[in-house]
Amino acid sequence: MFDSVMIANRGEIALRVVRACRTLGLTSIAIHSEADSGTRAVALADRALCIGPAAAAKSYLSIDHILAAAKLTQAQSIHPGYGFLSENADFAEAVEKAGLTFIGPPSHVIRLMGDKVSAKQAMQAAGVPCVVGSEGALSGDADEARAIARSIGYPVIVKAAGGGGGRGMRVVQSESELMDAIALTREEAARAFGNPALYIEKFLQHPRHVEIQVLADSHGNAVWLGARDCSLQRRNQKLVEESPAVGIAPEEIQKLGEQCARACLEIGYRGAGTFEFLYEDGHFAFIEMNTRVQVEHPVTEMVTGIDIVREQIEVARGKPLSFTQSDVVPHGHAIECRINAEDPRSFTPSPGEVTRWIVPGGPGIRVESHMHAGATVSPHYDSLVAKLIAHGSTRQEAMARMRTALAEFEVQGIHTTIALHRALMEEPGVTEGGFDIHHLERCLAAGFTPKEQA
């Protein structure tokens, strides 16, 4: 059983893992780029090591550098966080082969879920409802592709097996566009993912994005921790997430959750994971599984009281989950606003030095951030500077607490999306809930924008 954890990540999630390690009495080892030497995770970790320059390809994405650092520090395990190498099966396998524990599922399960065709086949076989589509990858035969699309019914969406998260996909409205779309997507997929395999699905035109959080140990236990609605997004970047999902019967979520937990056992899952679904016309359809801890995990933690990162680490250490499904009793509602260092109207990145940083507080408020006055937002990485999470006994109370917290939040030196979130928490579609994945882009196209600040 390991007692040291190397964190192969940065920013708020590195800090989240350092905190979990300290709370568990484990030694934390931060690795960082030259740009991140002065960050909070580096300061708070028991040990820290610089592994390369600012460019992620030579630091946070370098398997060689990370494994060399693990050897040098005698780290016994690696937590990958989210993004970077967190869902890279080759990385997980290299960690396993080096004799360390990868804090996540076994590398072969990451590989199975990383190929969206094999992931869907595994979920179909495990009884999870899937989007109607081709059975497996397209063969390359044009007549066969046309027959599949015709039987699904247009519009369809062509997706790359190696894609995911919105990369490598193309909507096709009619048969006349199909073969060009396949050729273009195949070329992109070969280039971007080194895998030209494609599949076809029915294109759902107004779905919600609803996901199920799961946790599994290596003793045959798998649990589901409720649903999150992540429909408020722009260009595949989520802005706001909440739990539970508004207007969906708890019995429906329970049925889906049980199907996900069963699927975890069938695929040999271990650790934290998320099943992504599209929800349209009262039906759930599986699209992808994420085999990592997600940015939005705190909304589930707030509603269930379960420390997901702690459980993730403990199951990697071989311990059983600290609770059972019947212990999972959701309380109230939680909402998360992702605050980015971006202009709140143009979404242009806004790196630089933070000169003022005053965070909100009060009942039900949680701030996950690596920022402080004097900290710098680097232009080299994702612009997330804080996650503001509000919990309440009802959605209305959570939203009211969120509005109060957003009003208190003061940042100077950089632009942030706080003003956008203030406006979103007043937008009628958002306050009503149950909007689809196109809601924000529709609002923005109709001129929705935050008020100019004095």
Which residues contact ligand MV4 (rule: CB under 6 A)?
131, 157, 165-166, 201-204, 207, 209, 233, 236, 276, 278, 287-288, 437
Beta partners for residue 137, in sequence order: none
Contact assessment for residue 242 and residue 229, using Cβ atoms and an 8 Å cutoff = yes
Residue 289's nearest CA partner among 279, 276, 271 is 276
CB 41, min distance to ligand MV4, A: 28
CA distances from 374 to 19, 355, 412 (A): 21, 6, 10
- Report the distance separating Cα 284 and Cα 266, nearest Å: 20
Beta partners for residue 214, in sequence order: 224, 273
Active site residue 442: no
Q: Which is nearer to ligand MV4, 131 or 384 (CB)?
A: 131
Instruction: Name, in order, each residue with C-beta under 8 angstroms of 160's C-beta and a sequence gap of 6 or more.
Output: 116, 167, 168, 169, 185, 186, 188, 189, 192, 193, 195, 196, 197, 198
Q: Which is nearer to ligand MV4, 95 or 204 (CB)?
A: 204
Catalytic residue among 40, 170, 292, 401: 292
CB 172, min distance to ligand MV4, A: 11
What type of residue is 86?
S
Q: Which is nearer to ligand MV4, 134 or 378 (CB)?
A: 134
Q: Which is nearer to ligand MV4, 100 or 113 (CB)?
A: 113
Beta partners for residue 33, in sequence order: 52
CB 155, min distance to ligand MV4, A: 9
CB 423, min distance to ligand MV4, A: 20
Beta-strand pair 4-7/27-33: parallel
Beta partners for residue 159, in sequence order: 169, 199
CB 173, min distance to ligand MV4, A: 13
CB 280, min distance to ligand MV4, A: 9
Q: Which is nearer to ligand MV4, 119 or 261 (CB)?
A: 119
Structure tokens at 75: 């780290």
- Report the distance separating Cα 193 and Cα 163, nearest Å: 7
Write down the H helix ranges in 1-115.
11-24, 40-44, 63-73, 89-97, 107-114
Contact assessment for residue 394 and residue 322, using Cβ atoms and an 8 Å cutoff = no
Structure tokens at 237: 């970047």
Q: Which residue has tokens 């802005």? A: 239
CB 438, min distance to ligand MV4, A: 7
Residue 16's nearest CA partner among 309, 336, 338 is 309
Q: Which is nearer to ligand MV4, 114 or 392 (CB)?
A: 114
Q: Which is nearer to ligand MV4, 236 or 326 (CB)?
A: 236
Helix, strand or coil, per DSSP, at residue 275: strand
| Positions marked catalytic | 292
